């Protein structure tokens, strides 16, 4: 529940679903619940995506009320992120379980580097064409589902670089993150039903006790992050985002 409270604030503030916190935390906590190491990473990814549905959904609602969601942008990113989210769950099933934590760490490190470069990046005049936007959305969905994240670390800098103001980029990212999480979670559930060693109270790879505990508090604290996102200056938001990603990358890889 404490983990969920932190995740909620970060989701509202940075437009992320919280997977960058949830996945490493669950990977550390699940063995204490008697869950086998061979499936703990899959369960961490699937459960993280399930919590993102609640967290990003709550964050998106708060941002929508504050006028921070660009529905035109969401409409063109939506098809790609939904398809990509489902594909990412399938890719995760093909990767040997012992390599999944390393894949997660590498993705987070690349996200951190990409965000640091984007701080000084100049916004272009407009969004790319429809096909390019959908293709980018698919890439966001695959990587996000593979890492158990909502995709805000990719979609926020992408939108901001293409002329979308930072607060609306964060709000729009929350909507897309919820869609990625739904499609990715469905993929993990379908694959999980084929596994015999799942713990009790699981739906596929989604572990319900962790999901309920995290979601019960994260949905309440997203409004705090959303209000902070509406009051903090854009450069400050970008620096917080970059430092946050660097911290998570360093923790996972070192």
Count of residues in the chain: 254
| Beta strand 206-207 pairing with 202-203 | antiparallel
What is the residue extent of each domain of the chain? 1-253
Using the 8-state DSSP alphabet, how is residue 162 labeled? T
Helices (DSSP H) in 95-129: which residue ranges? 100-119
What is the value of pTM for the model shown? 0.81
Q: Kindly report the number of other CB atoms within 10 A of residue 220's CB atom.
A: 13
pLDDT at 161: 78
What DSSP character marks residue 165? Answer: -
Measured CA to CA in angstroms, residue 50 lies from 106, 115, 179, 234 at distances of: 22, 25, 11, 29
Structure tokens at 103: 């894949």
Cα torsion for 83, 85, 90, 91, to the nearest 10°? 110
Alpha-helix runs per DSSP H in 148-233: 152-161, 166-192, 208-231
Over its length of 254 residues, how does the chain's per-residue pLDDT go in tens digits?
Answer: 999 998 888 777 776 667 878 888 898 899 888 898 889 989 999 999 999 888 778 878 888 888 888 888 888 888 899 999 999 998 988 888 777 777 887 887 787 777 677 656 555 667 777 888 889 899 999 998 888 887 777 888 788 778 888 788 888 888 888 899 999 999 999 999 888 889 899 999 999 999 999 989 988 888 888 788 777 776 677 677 777 777 777 776 77
Nearest to 127 by CA among 155, 99, 88, 147: 155
Please give the helix or strand (H or E) that residue 139 lies within, else none. helix 130-147
Residue 156: strand pairing partners: none
Q: What is the pLDDT of residue 124?
A: 60
Inter-axis angle of helices 71-94 and 166-192, nearest 10: 30
């Amino acid at each position: 529940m404490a983990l969920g409270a932190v995740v909620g604030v970060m989701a509202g503030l940075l437009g992320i679903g919280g997977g960058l916190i949830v996945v490493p935390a669950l990977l550390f906590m699940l063995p204490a619940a008697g869950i086998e190491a061979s499936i703990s990473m899959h369960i961490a990814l699937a459960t993280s995506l399930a919590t993102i549905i609640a967290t990003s959904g709550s964050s998106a609602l708060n941002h929508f009320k504050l006028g921070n969601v660009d529905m035109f942008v969401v409409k063109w990113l939506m098809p790609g992120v939904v398809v990509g989210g489902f594909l990412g769950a399938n890719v995760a099933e093909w990767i040997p379980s012992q390599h999944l934590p390393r894949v997660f760490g590498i993705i987070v490190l690349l996200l951190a580097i990409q965000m640091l470069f984007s701080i000084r990046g100049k916004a272009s005049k407009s969004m790319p064409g429809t096909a390019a936007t959908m293709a980018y959305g698919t890439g966001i969905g695959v990587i996000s589902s593979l890492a158990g994240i909502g995709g805000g670390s990719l979609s926020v800098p992408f939108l901001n670089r293409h002329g979308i103001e930072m607060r609306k980029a964060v709000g729009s990212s929350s909507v897309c993150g919820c869609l990625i999480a739904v499609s990715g979670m469905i993929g993990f559930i379908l694959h999980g039903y084929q596994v015999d060693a799942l713990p009790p109270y699981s739906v596929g790879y989604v572990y319900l006790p962790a999901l309920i505990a995290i979601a019960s508090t994260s949905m309440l604290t997203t409004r705090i992050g959303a209000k902070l996102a509406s009051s903090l200056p854009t450069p400050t938001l970008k620096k917080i985002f970059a430092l946050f990603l660097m911290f998570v990358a360093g923790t996972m890889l070192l």
